[in-house]
Structure 1
Amino acid sequence: MSESPSTSGSPGASDRPILAFFDVDNTLMRGTSLFQLGREAWRKHVIRFRDVALFAWHQRRFIAVGENDDHLRTAREKALGLVGGHTQAEILELAEAIWEDRIRPRLYPETVELTQEHVAKGHEVWLVSATPWEIGDLIARRLNLTGALGTRIEVVDGVYTGELIGHVLHAERKATAVAELAVAAGADLADSWAYSDSRNDIPLLEMVGHPVVVNPDAALAHHARECGWPVLRMSPASMREAARRVRRDARAVKKGVKKNTRRA
């Protein structure tokens, strides 16, 4: 379904909602958001030092070599271990506490600016990540985006059980969740955009009409070259071109078209 943005249809206004999806870790922010939650949980004595030390090791590994299946399995185990037995209010308070000192300084201003280019076009902008939904929702709210899709953990009587609702939102499952959201919103994926750094998001990138890779890992960089997808680097020239591409190629949503305000 995907095609180069420069060869897509007219950028004129659309009657249908247009969606833009942004991965979080190493696309919207440097490193892993889950690690930052772990650090705050350790600081507040929710988890032990050896737990946050393991978080730190995976944070360094992730930045150095990118996302991999071992990383995702460990992230899943750590996320479940972190919240199991704790109240939802307690974990939401932790998430809010990390915004100013741990999340906001690590956001890439260039990618944040791209989210705002889409907002200016009237698009729905969704964060899509394997990280717990609570973190993605926090970032989406703070940046005034539409909402977030993320891994969900069961809550019973206000307490996390440590059991997943469904699966970790990763690879093909992330693509499936995006497809379901597009159907619910009445959006055409041919008009949609997706941004990611990871080869694991190839299924998502291939679904949309406007796939864009950001600081890609080696496998995604190779795939992007073969497909002719735009590749963004965190350089002023690259990001200026990305912003121009959105202004030029992204259809605007007509005034009066009701935007989806669900936070998923």
Structure 2
Amino acid sequence: MGAMTSTSDAEASGPPRTIAFFDVDNTLMRGASIFHVGKEARRRGYLPLRDLLRFAWQQARFLAVGENLKHLRSIRERALGLAEGHSVAEVAELAEKIFDESIERRLWPETVGLAREHMAQGHEVWLITATPEVIAGVIARRLGLTGALGTRLEQHDGRFTGQLDGSVLHGEEKAVAARALMIERGAEAADCWAYSDSRNDLPLLELVGNRVVVNPDAVLLEHATTHDWSVMRLNRSSIRAARRRVRKESR
């Protein structure tokens, strides 16, 4: 299961909680966050130019056709290896820099605003992504969200080994991690929400009671249409409608 990084130490108590899960790549931000890890690693000399060019090609393909499992595995495996031998503190500092210089300006303000609408309604908001949790945790904290579930990197003596600690948080693994978090936080699946652009997140979307597909790929759009799920395009009317749904369901 992926790692859990929380911006809140509150215990799960009181009335049942509502959790909104947000995918990151092409849902919360434009493109693949891991690409920007590779770009900064290249600048620091961690990554050969050949590998950076491969990152760039995969980023362009991701934007053009959406997630492809083979390419996502390749790009993330390369990115995970970038941390090998570096201290946890060094990689955390790198994550902060990547957010400031690359990720922040690529965030979709409409989706960020929707996440904050959930927070305003008293919901917990968790990012859930195959991106390494050290990156996802920074994004969640900097946006004032509850926390992040992400792919865990193996550590030994305060340094990353370049290996995974568990599985990449992708596909069915996201649903497993979300289910475990809901149990831990005392949330009912029927009351929870999930936002994603990708067909690979169908297990997560089908787990919760409120699903919203955001600028979906073709397969997810067809599935959403068939099952009468909410579809959100990044335009004013669609965002207003999405916020109204959140407020209505929170009453």
TM-score (norm 2): 0.92
Amino acid at match of 1:79: A
SS in 1 for 2:86: coil
- How far off is 1:43 after superposition? 1.1
SS in 2 for 1:125: strand
What is the rounded CA distance, in whole Å, between the counterparts of 1:65 and 1:144 in structure 2? 31
Partner of 1:20: 20
1:241 aligns with 2:234: no
Partner of 2:84: 84
Partner of 1:54: 54
Higher RCO structure (Cα 8 Å, ≥6 apart): 1
Amino acid at match of 1:217: D
Structure 1, unpaired ranges of 5+:
1-13, 252-264
Query: Deviations for 1:111-142, whole angstroms, at most 9, x for unmatched residues?
Result: 00000000001111000001111111010000
1:230 aligns with 2:230: yes
Partner of 1:211: 211
Q: How does 1:114-263 map to 2 (within 5 A)?
A: 114-251=114-251
Q: How does 1:65-84 map to 2 (within 5 A)?
A: 65-84=65-84
- How far off is 1:73 after superposition? 1.4
Partner of 1:43: 43
- How far off is 1:80 after superposition? 2.4
What is the rounded CA distance, in whole Å, between the counterparts of 1:183 and 1:89 in structure 2? 31
What is the rounded CA distance, in whole Å, between the counterparts of 2:250 and 2:109 in structure 1? 20
Amino acid at match of 2:200: N
Would the aligned equivalents of 2:58 and 2:71 in 1 still touch at CA under 8 Å? yes
Partner of 1:108: 108
Query: Deviations for 1:228-251, whole angstroms, at most 9, x for unmatched residues?
Result: 000001111111111111111235
What is the rounded CA distance, in whole Å, between the counterparts of 1:57 and 1:205 in structure 2? 29
Query: Deviations for 1:146-205, whole angstroms, at most 9, x for unmatched residues?
Result: 100010010101111111111000000110000000001111010000000000000000
Structure 2, unpaired ranges of 5+:
1-13
What is the rounded CA distance, in whole Å, between the counterparts of 1:150 and 1:75 in structure 2? 15
- How far off is 1:86 after superposition? 1.7
What is the rounded CA distance, in whole Å, between the counterparts of 2:99 and 2:174 in structure 1? 24
What is the rounded CA distance, in whole Å, between the counterparts of 2:60 and 2:101 in structure 1? 19
- How far off is 1:72 after superposition? 2.1
- How far off is 1:77 after superposition? 1.5
Would the aligned equivalents of 2:81 and 2:163 in 1 still touch at CA under 8 Å? no
SS in 2 for 1:162: strand
- How far off is 1:76 after superposition? 2.8
Show structure 1 runs of 4+ deviating over 2 A: none
Amino acid at match of 2:195: Y
TM-score (norm 1): 0.88
What is the rounded CA distance, in whole Å, between the counterparts of 1:88 and 1:51 in structure 2? 23
SS in 2 for 1:83: coil
Partner of 1:4: none
Would the aligned equivalents of 2:66 and 2:217 in 1 still touch at CA under 8 Å? yes
What is the rounded CA distance, in whole Å, between the counterparts of 1:179 and 1:117 in structure 2? 23
